[in-house]
Structure 1
Amino acid sequence: MRLKGRTAVITGGSRGLGRAIAQRYLDEGANVVCAARSPHELHTMIAQFPDQAEFQPVDVTDPDSVAGVMRYTADRFGGLDIVVANAGVNHDGKIDRIDPAAWRAMVDTNLNGVFYSVQAAARQMLAQGSGAIVTVSSCMSSRVAIGAAGYSATKAAVEQFTRTAAIELGRKGIRVNCLAPGILEEGMGREVATNPKLWAAYQSRISLGRAGRLDEAADAAVYLVADGSSYVNGHVLEVNGGLLWA
């Protein structure tokens, strides 16, 4: 129960990694608001934790929508202790072919959405003088792959934004760190992990020889906001099984 009595907002919290983080936070005693466009797979979890778990609709590309969820959560539970800026999208495409609309969608969600989430969280947390924020990046932020320019660029930007936010907010009692997952069995990594041809190419680059589980990445997200990481700020925590990239 490392998070007992704390309140968290998780964007993109209705499926994939976001939902897994929500589940782990609930197991650790937190109140959790899963903010997303749709509730997707949340019904069972909310039924399991009716007094701790809620869904709230949000559009992370709209700063007013994001700020509204943060205010609602603080009013509903009496404070805002944790925010995980997890919402993200991916559109593959080589630079000479990718649709500009797809590029804008990645920038709007992956980068602007993180900024809006961190800004709105900080404004709530500054009043109470404490808080922990986790942004979500990717192994693709620091490794080159054909067709991944938009996704990689936005995730690299998230990591540098995180470091700056950590410097600005740390002295005010708010820690900001980044979680950078590798290839996971579910979510965006599922396409790689379940495609025999792709998996044959990538498996040898993972020193543990397997894809990660959602709960393994979610455990790292617990660490980054719990008391055990109280002296960790501005860090990018890679959870990728020891991923090498040629």
Structure 2
Amino acid sequence: MGALEGRVAVVTGGTKGLGLKITEAFVAEGARVVVGARGGAGADGALAHLDGRAVFRQTDVRDPASVRALMEAAADRFGGVDVLMANAGLSRPGPAAGLAGADWAQVVDTNLNGLFHCVQAAVPYLERSGNGRIVTMSSALGSRPAPGASAYCATKAAVEMFSKVIALELAPKGIVVNCLAPGFVDEGMGRLLKQNQAVWSTYAPKVALGRMGTGREIAEAAVYLAGDAGAYVNGHVLEVNGGLAW
């Protein structure tokens, strides 16, 4: 029996990269998953190997109505929502003094406002679950400054504090909230970083284990926080980074 057997999960940003690895891990552990993402192209194909246990719903986390529709779709399709995996996020690099206002706003609107919308929409369903879980997604850069990443660092730091606050607020409703903070991972943005050897060579020595993490390793941590094994972990930021010294 899987760690998430019988659970219904909503995963935002779950059609590619780290989000897809988390979706696959949730399904492997027995969950049925509704995946929300903005890009519809190729989404059904990305989930086809999961045999209908993960379905796609086009969603823009910046739009509260779109997020409410995502939760409603999960409840209609699978009977409720037990887990929210709030993974959707993006980065717009550039020095703060020269970063376009539109780029800053897009990062804030997706990484922070999008999380807020997801939590508000999910709470009524998670409360009815009786075993509700929220797992938010931060980053090693949520607690470590990096030049050229002002928008990303600021929003991920905010995600961590927001997660700690709602962990206190939602505990009386039977909802457990934790935050996952990966380090350098060979998926998505991390894979692009690794491909730039000039950049990666400056960061690689900072990782005690001497390598990037895998999507599977991050996904297994997400399963832990979403399942019964992590039931008494609440308001925690779980760093999965191979021993990252900064």
TM-score band (shorter)? over 0.9
Would the aligned equivalents of 1:14 and 1:39 in 2 still touch at CA under 8 Å?
A: no
2:3 equivalent to 1:2 = yes
Which amino acid is the alignment partner of residue 178 of structure 1? C
Task: Give the C-alpha shift of residue 96 in structure 1.
Answer: 1.0
Structure 1 consecutive aligned stretches of length 4 or more whose deviation exceeds 6 Å = none
Distance (Å, rounded) in 1 between the aligned partners of 2:244 and 2:41: 31
C-alpha displacement at 1:130, in angstroms?
A: 3.0
1:1-246 counterparts in 2 under 5 A? 1-40=2-41, 42-44=43-45, 46-245=47-246
Q: Partner amino acid for 1:228?
A: A
Give how far 1:44 is off: 4.8
- Which amino acid in structure 1 is aligned with residue 155 of structure 2? T
List alignment gaps of at least 5 residues for structure 1: none
Q: Would you say the 8 A contact 1:26–1:49 is kept in 2?
A: yes
Q: Which runs of 5+ in 2 are unaligned?
A: none
Opposite residue 214 of structure 1, the aligned amino acid is G
Cα deviations across residues 205-235 of structure 1 (Å, max 9, x unaligned)? 0000001111110110000011111101111
Percent identical across equivalent pairs? 50
| Deviation at residue 41 of structure 1 after TM alignment | 5.2
**Kept in 1: contact 2:82–2:129 (CA 8 A):** no
Cα distance in structure 2, aligned partners of 1:215 and 1:36: 20
1:216 alignment partner, SS class = helix
Aligned letter for 1:109? T
CA distance in 2, matches of 1:45, 1:190: 18
CA contact (8 A) 2:84 2:133 kept: yes
Distance 1:208 1:41, change over 3 A: farther
- What amino acid is aligned across from residue 91 of structure 1 in structure 2? R
> Distance in 2 between the 1:76 and 1:174 partners?
22
CA gap of 1:40–1:25, structure 2 versus 1, over 3 A, is farther
TM-score of the pair, normalised by structure 2: 0.96
1:191 Cα deviation (Å)? 2.4
Displacement of 1:21 in angstroms is 0.2
Question: What TM-score, normalized by structure 1, do the two folds share?
Answer: 0.96
Cα deviation for residue 45 of structure 1 reads 5.2
Compared CA separation, residues 41 and 185, structure 1 to 2 (3 A)? farther
What's the Cα RMSD here?
A: 1.2
* Structure with the bigger percentage of helix: 2
CA contact (8 A) 1:15 1:40 kept: no
Find the aligned partners of 1:94 and 1:239 in 2 and give their Cα distance: 27
Q: Partners of 2:17 and 2:188 in 1: how far apart?
A: 5
